[in-house]
Amino acid sequence: MIETFADWLETPQGQYVLAWEQERLDLVLADIFGFNAVQIGLPRIDYLRTNRMPFHLYCGAQANVGVCTDPHHLPFATNSIDLVILPHILEFDANPHQILREVDRVLVPEGSVVVVGFNPYSLWGMRRLLAGKRGDAPWQGRYLSVPRLRDWFALLGFETRAGTFGCYVPPVCKEKWLSRCHFMDSIGRRVWPVTGAVYFLQAIKRQPGMRMVMPKWRDRIIRARSLALMPHKPLTHKKDDRPEAQ
């Protein structure tokens, strides 16, 4: 279903949603620091474009991605990733809990996960109910509410932090009607902010009682390169100039 959703993002409706998502995420992801950032799903769209980490990995089930993998079993070492972004992957997957458990495993302590999804308590959520199981993208997904996600993250030991709602225009299809209804975005943010069609939520992996000790920068960079699944040059050592023992 996520492949069908990727095609829908190229429609006027999808472009409206995508423009809001990228505008908000560009601001948030630019201020999340580390070494390894992973995007799971929708590899055709670069949600990490403003993030300044040196290694960006794009995962998916397709063959033309940076890392072809099952999101339920990520090929990364435990405590090795600084940022994971999940754009609409949870609502179009049959087992979103397992994806979050894998994210918990691979994230470093104090690492961040950002979830992007549709709000079931919105006009778009009502449109999904009317479409039923036979609806086309994006209506066939199982929309997850922000309170439910907060509960799931709390059970995993995450602390939810940044998040916001957006896209208050009704789910009309034609571009001219989307343009005419744009005034509802400014009204919606002031009057009914939690009923936006789309949201993003950031959560941070906490480890109670842990005291952060930063490793040496050189060792940290070398480790990050090896975890990025990218070829890198081996370390070279200076030749010992001392004469050999006779």
Q: What is the pLDDT along the chain (246 residues), one digit of tens a residue?
A: 777 899 999 999 999 999 999 999 999 999 999 999 999 999 989 999 999 999 999 998 876 788 899 999 999 999 999 999 999 999 999 999 999 999 999 999 999 999 999 999 999 999 999 887 667 889 988 999 999 999 999 999 999 987 899 999 999 989 999 999 999 999 999 999 999 999 999 999 998 765 555 556 566 666 666 665 554 444 454 455 544 444
For residue 52, tell me if it sits in a domain.
yes
H/E element holding 100?
A: helix 96-106
pLDDT of the residue at 214: 57
Structure token pair of residue 117: 């999804």
Phi/psi at 115 (5° precision):
-110, 135
For residue 185, tell me if it sits in a domain.
yes
Domain housing 142:
2-227
For residue 29, tell me if it sits in a domain.
yes
Residues near 136 by beta carbon (within 8 Å), at least 6 away in sequence = 4, 8
Distance, in Å, from the CA atom of 242 to the CA atom of 39, rounded to the nearest integer, reads 49
pLDDT of the residue at 73: 95
- Its pTM stands at 0.83
DSSP-based three-state secondary structure for 155 = helix
Among residues 193, 13, 9, 41, the alpha carbon closest in space to that of 114 is found at 41
Question: Identity (one letter) of the amino acid at 77?
Answer: A
For residue 243, tell me if it sits in a domain.
no
Q: Are 140 and 3 in contact (CB under 8 A)?
A: no
For residue 236, tell me if it sits in a domain.
no
pLDDT of the residue at 133: 65
pLDDT of the residue at 2: 78
Number of domains in the chain: 1
For residue 245, tell me if it sits in a domain.
no
CATH number at residue 223: 3.40.50.150
For residue 241, tell me if it sits in a domain.
no
For residue 164, tell me if it sits in a domain.
yes
| R_g over Cα of the chain | 21
